[in-house]
Structure 1
Amino acid sequence: MALAGALSLLLPGAVAAEDVVIGWAGPEQQPHARALKQGVELAIAEANERGLTVQGRRLSFKLLAYNDSGNPNVAPFAARSLVAGKAVAVIGHYTTETTIAGAQVYAETGVPELAVFAPSPRLTQLGYKNVFQLIGNIVDATAYMATAVAQMDGGKRVAVAYNGSIMGATVADAVDREMQKHGTALAGRVSISARTSDFNAVLKMLDGGKADILYFAGIQEQALALSQRLRGANLTVQLMLSGGAFNPHFYANAGGYGEGTLLMAHNRPESQQPGFPRFEKAYVARFHAPVMPYVANAYDATGMVIEAIRRGGSVEPATISATLHAMSYDGVTGRIAFDADGRLENPSYTLYEVSQKKWKVVRSFP
């Protein structure tokens, strides 16, 4: 094949390297967002150590980062800056709102956008052929959650609380639909601000033991604060969380979450991720910090872009997008491939429960 001759490893120093920019956008003040960025950095560093040439040109991958502050109004400016900076692909943004806000800019220019922490179905329903979702759809995750709840002893009653974000409302609607499919109406539903620490409306909904499980769709800080508030109010309701509500030291301990807390997360457990031990060792050695959930997804997204450049023999964004659609990639988190809409094919999910101050696997789906 002609491509095989065009792509080869090149001895360092043989020719001047051509810079290839990979973009990242997110709220750098947020520790988890910074960790995702570090996953991108590690993949780029390892690619440069290996060396790669395309059509006789030696490539040197560079990271161009933009702090969008997690603000949907800033995200389009961030996207334009990354495009102006010649990014051939962008890993990010962070929230569903900012990822969608940037998507239109990337669609206009054909730059691939790979979302590693935005599982809303709205993202891939936009119809853009250059948008890819590295984790499963939150609606599918919710269906598995409802199945798990329905199989619990005693026919658990579920109430839902969610913040005012796109993701929060999407999850709440999905929980409502899925519980109805299992023949159970919600015991209550309440929306709170994405920026509040006032949970009085949630406590009022739960007053009188109306629910056995409270499913909360919100950010980490809110979920941790709510967990503490529920325990302080001596409520016996079991807290169940969506995948973004993990604590920073998830793989080591349960942080501030109480015993019995449930979490439906994306991906297989790290013990079942084929490349996780090697990735974790390299990440900790480079950044002197523990691996947080979804950082391996950011690493895989970057590695997949670089592999798409190798396979497609081009650094043109349109070619990279087309190659991403056609390829299958074996990453740390497992096999990665996308459907025509950019959704991850065959995504996995895992239900965890806090037991003895650690997250223990209950079961994986499917």
Structure 2
Amino acid sequence: MRAAGGWLLAALAAWASTGAEIRIAYFGPAEPEHPLGGSVWQGVALAAEENVAGPPVRLIAIWDENPWTGGAGKLAKLIYQERTVALIGGIDGTSTHLAEQIVAKALLPQVDPASTDRTVNAAFVPWIFSVMPDDRNLMRVLVDGVLAGPGRQSALLISSTDHDSRIMRREFFLAADRRLRLRRAVEFSSAATVAAAIRDLEAEAVIVLAGPVDSAAAVRELRRLRGGLTIYCGPAAGSRTFLELAGEAAEGVLFPDPLEPSERAQDFARRFAARWGEPPDYLASHAYDAAALLIEAVRRAGPDREAIRDALRALSPWSGVSGRIEWDKLGRNTRKGRLSMIQNGRPQPYN
């Protein structure tokens, strides 16, 4: 790691004494109620509010509901014109890949709070750090859970066709590797897809790999058709959006949970609820850690992008509210995850 010389420490001291703000770009909707990115913003914003020592932090948010056509240009303009020192974002695998392409050219540190897609880090871009466990580890947890459950010999797989779901499906099959027998694997397009897939099929368990909206729709239909099914989902089942949309149908759903229980997590949940009036989901927890890590790195390194990158790597391992964060050689958190169940409307550890 590059050592901070006397000139840099002096520059940082002068920078801090003037009260100059730290400008950090945020690639995501700055809207707490946004169905896909609201929890991420809540976590990032709370971290910025709580970490007030030193120079003031200014989050500059940019987003477009069509990231590839509108968001890319807006983000590039923000990075080059607003003198941002680092980036937090995006809110899923697709938007994170897009942001990665820009930071690789701008030589800007990026902390990824939400993506489980390990191909984000497979491009060998040394500027990106991902705080979530990846799909490979999470799908191993899921497959082990299915194999230990009642439906391991007669399971149905339903998966969506978006980028993140396709990556998750691929990792699921790699983790299963002839250990798990599926009766059928189908692509989700609507509730009718679920009805057609399960009709006349003697399945005891169904695995749903999709984002929170599609997962909730599939789970509601499965409960309507066969209330006694064992249902497994991807990590999206731990999200606020899934829990709200699935409602009572979410009860009993099993899923690979990226979070580690701890006293630190419980304390964060109390502060988060006091600020936002609701408990945090796994996205909010990881987003908080992403922002807290980056803010600490900036304060240690000063407004130098390369030094910030080196400080981010040096801060590992980090005890976060989401659990232990320790980078592998590509900048991905090595945490494995664990199996959880939705009970009384909230994720609970499952034994």
Shorter chain as denominator, the TM-score bin is 0.7 to 0.9
Structure 2 distance, partners of 1:185, 1:19, is 56
Q: 1:357 to 1:186 in 2, by over 3 A?
A: same
2:94 corresponds to 1:97: yes
Structure 2 distance, partners of 1:252, 1:242, is 16
1:300-359, CA deviations, whole angstroms, 9 ceiling, x for partnerless residues? Answer: 111111221233x322122111221232222222332212211112x1412122345554
Structure 2 distance, partners of 1:47, 1:282, is 13
Could you say which structure has the higher helix fraction?
2
Total equivalences in the alignment: 341
Structure 2 counterpart of 1:297, which letter? H
Q: Which runs of 5+ in 2 are unaligned?
A: none
Q: 1:208 to 1:127 in 2, by over 3 A?
A: same
Q: 1:154 to 1:105 in 2, by over 3 A?
A: closer
Could you say which structure has the higher strand fraction?
1
Q: Which runs of 5+ in 1 are unaligned?
A: 53-58
What pairs up with 1:40-51 in 2 under 5 angstroms? 40-48=44-52, 51=53
* Shift of residue 241, structure 1, vs aligned partner: 0.8
Structure-2-length-normalised TM-score: 0.86
* Shift of residue 218, structure 1, vs aligned partner: 1.5
Structure 2 distance, partners of 1:335, 1:294, is 15
Q: Secondary structure at the match of 1:260?
A: coil
Look up the match of 2:121. 124
Look up the match of 1:22. 24
Structure-1-length-normalised TM-score: 0.83
- Ranked by relative contact order (alpha carbons within 8 Å, sequence separation 6 or more), the top structure is 2
What pairs up with 1:7-86 in 2 under 5 angstroms? 15-27=17-29, 28=31, 30-48=34-52, 51-52=53-54, 59-69=55-65, 71-84=67-80, 85-86=82-83
2:296 corresponds to 1:317: no
Structure 2 distance, partners of 1:303, 1:16, is 22
Q: Secondary structure at the match of 1:177?
A: helix
* Shift of residue 66, structure 1, vs aligned partner: 1.0
Q: Secondary structure at the match of 1:319?
A: helix
2:276 to 279, 287, 296: 287
Structure 2 counterpart of 1:38, which letter? Q
1:55-108, CA deviations, whole angstroms, 9 ceiling, x for partnerless residues? Answer: xxxx22101011232633333224213313222121111121111011110111
Q: Contact between 2:160 and 2:166, CA under 8 Å: does it hold in 1?
A: yes
Q: 1:234 to 1:244 in 2, by over 3 A?
A: closer
2:173 corresponds to 1:176: yes
* Shift of residue 360, structure 1, vs aligned partner: 3.1
Structure 2 distance, partners of 1:298, 1:33, is 10
Look up the match of 2:287. 298
Structure 1 counterpart of 2:18, which letter? A
* Shift of residue 256, structure 1, vs aligned partner: 3.3
Q: Secondary structure at the match of 2:249?
A: coil
Q: Which moves more between the two structures, 105-114 or 14-23?
A: 14-23
1:192 to 183, 188, 197: 188
* Shift of residue 283, structure 1, vs aligned partner: 2.3
Look up the match of 1:332. 321
Q: Contact between 2:339 and 2:350, CA under 8 Å: does it hold in 1?
A: yes
Q: 1:249 to 1:122 in 2, by over 3 A?
A: closer
Look up the match of 1:362. 350
1:255 to 242, 247, 257: 247
Q: Which moves more between the two structures, 121-130 or 333-342?
A: 333-342
2:195 corresponds to 1:203: yes
1:244 to 236, 241, 263: 236
* Shift of residue 37, structure 1, vs aligned partner: 1.3
Q: 1:304 to 1:243 in 2, by over 3 A?
A: same
Q: 1:23 to 1:273 in 2, by over 3 A?
A: farther
